[in-house]
Structure 1
Amino acid sequence: MATPTASHAPKPRISARIGGIAESATLAVDAKAKALKAEGRPVIGFGAGEPDFPTPAPIVEAAQAAAADPKNHRYSPAGGLPELKAAIVAKTKRDSGYDIAANQVLVTNGGKQAVYQAFATLVDPGDEVILPAPYWTTYPEAIALAGGTPVVVTTGPEQDYMPSVEQLEAARTENTKVLLWCSPSNPTGAVASRELTEAVGRWAVEHDIWVVTDEIYEHLVYDGAEAVSMPVAVPELADKCVVLNGVAKTYAMTGWRVGWMAGPVDVIKAATNLQSHLSSNVANVSQRAAVEALSGSLDAVAEMREAFDRRRRLIVELLSAIPGVECPTPRGAFYAYPAVGALLGKEIRGQKMETSLDLAAAVLEHAEVAVVPGEAFGTPGFFRLSYALGDDDLRTGVTRMGELLAEAK
């Protein structure tokens, strides 16, 4: 067999664009925890941001009725069912005070598709996207897939994990096109004040910068915190703002895969064209369930928020009692983001903990508790723990982790 010459060298099996994508760290941790559970180990997982509640019964019943209706067995408009778009318009006005029209909405297969399509629609190669860290793991990958360059602005607990206008301005260049904004935040649970939201929005308008704002945790706020929608706080930003949202977190519907984008008509039209080739319509049964979720009572949402609030206070209390762990009190979402840097450089059961990756691996192996290390979110030296799990598991898991970390020396 002839040896390939330089000009006929084998082509890479995987494209550079796809080969450069990192696996979702949160899903990887969740998968590892579930695999260990399947082996019979009593692993408690704090990895996935997934409510442990069942989807409320009226939503499930609406889906069951939809599944029996033949009209839902066929293709529907790629951009979303008209009934769901109308429900999103009404819900957006009700919950955030933002007035939009149906032609400004695109229904997507979950929030992740909305994130991907937002950047694919707005960003060209060479464009820069300012990305505050800690950030959700999918954001930088979606930016890079679109050909953009993430410009990370690192924040810490001393500033409630929210960037200042001065930090954003220092990161701005002539290539800056978009700012990613997430409040309430995944992974930190931080909630931007109205004053900061307004200041950032005015800065974006002044410098002609788009804002992609992820509002999927809008209903999960505590201690009097307020989830402020940036285009409401700064109306003149609306023509260069894309709002991302979905039913997953608010209604315990992670598996139903319904999200959406809301923004200027030309952007939504272009993103709809992309989706028409990428995936066509979201499953009609899921869309019908989402209509019921958005149009129905918020009583179940209030009950879930009350449970999350109780768990939030419990997890902060338990984590703060562990030597070497500092845990700010989150005011939104369902995540705690404690600093564990004081434990790095120490030994646990004969192994030196050089990084929070090492520390998370030790916690999984020896305490049988799954957490996501801060490296996944752009800030080493931290853990993310989702408290969207049962109270007993939460207490047991953090107690186990604390007993192990107490061995550090």
Structure 2
Amino acid sequence: MKEKKYRIISGGVTAPKGFKASGAATGLKPNNQLDIALIESDVEAVPAIVTTQNAVKAAPVLWDNQIVKKDKQKIKAVLVNSGNANACTGEQGLLDVKTEAECVSQHFNCDPNQVFISSTGVIGVPLPIKEITDTVPTLVQNLSIDGQSDASRAILTTDLVPKTVAVEIEIGGKTVHIGAMAKGSGMICPNMATMLSFVTTDADIDQACLQKMLSVIAMDTYNMMSVDGDMSTNDTVLVLANGMAGNEKITEANIDAYTKFFDALYFVNASIVKSIVKDGEGATKYIEVHVNNADSRGDARILAKAVVNSNLVKTAIFGEDANWGRVLSSIGATGVKFSPNTVSLTFSNSVGSILLLDHGKPTSFDEKQASDILKQKEIIINIDMGEGIYKATAWGCDLSYDYVKINAEYRT
């Protein structure tokens, strides 16, 4: 087994040196719930970002993307609200984002273009901008290392629990930290999701190098999960690196440092993805799909995503039915060329493993063993294509009665 070069720690998004956070209530959500968060770095940080592939992009996404395009742009703070997506809000939505950034920048004596903005919630409703700007002073006043707890709860919508993780690694004799907080529960589909993920690190790393890492990692994590097959307008993954760990700058030329940091950054983002799908709207089961021995990496990704995105597979898992034919059908509908006669399929978890299809031939499996496996909260589906050397993993959850109920009543 490959030795882990990172250690899991507490602290979430404020675990790295120099980062503080806070959360507050503006009235965007009922019952005075926390609904707005602020993250701030003591020193300016280099950014990396990946956003939704949806053609309909929310105003904050458009703002953030144009910031990153600026040469050598550094970031001071991130303002995030829940309860309102500020999407499909026209020119006023863009003006509101600018107003938010200007308001935050005044408190840190920085340029508005050094403030990222994110929103999540109902689409097509004007942003109550005055309530937000009136709350910014409170957020600034309450910034602290411990504020990450309020911040991580303030960004939630239909989520049941906050999603946070942090690790530390040794790079060149210096201790480097990576922390994260995220939200996501519904409209979760491959090619990003209704999710916001904010990652911080005190590593000193080249900005182009960080962006390249995030783009690769997002492809294998955030773009490989599904709750319900719907893609949102606001999806954003943001990484900020402020360099306060004091390590020698990480570049692609330093293979050892690059690999250590990449592995830890991958772990943090993969952990967030698993937390999101486990908290999927109405979810009762966590599904992990491994495709092995495909003809290409692209084929492996397509096949794995097809399984976690199949409503028939998801409902079978919810019903605890070992209906493996639905898995085979989902990969067969992808357009990827393969021979069904080379495919093997197993379901497994901590209870055991059961072979359902062996090189294209159905097995006489033990129904009770299959039932015992499917009664567990976590189900691993292993698909061996038997044709190549490439692999991919996708993450998802089942589709339950509660999912329909939650989304039928979302605006009410």
Q: TM-score, normalised by structure 1?
A: 0.24
Which fold has the larger relative contact order, with Cα–Cα distance below 8 Å and residues 6 or more apart in sequence? Answer: 1
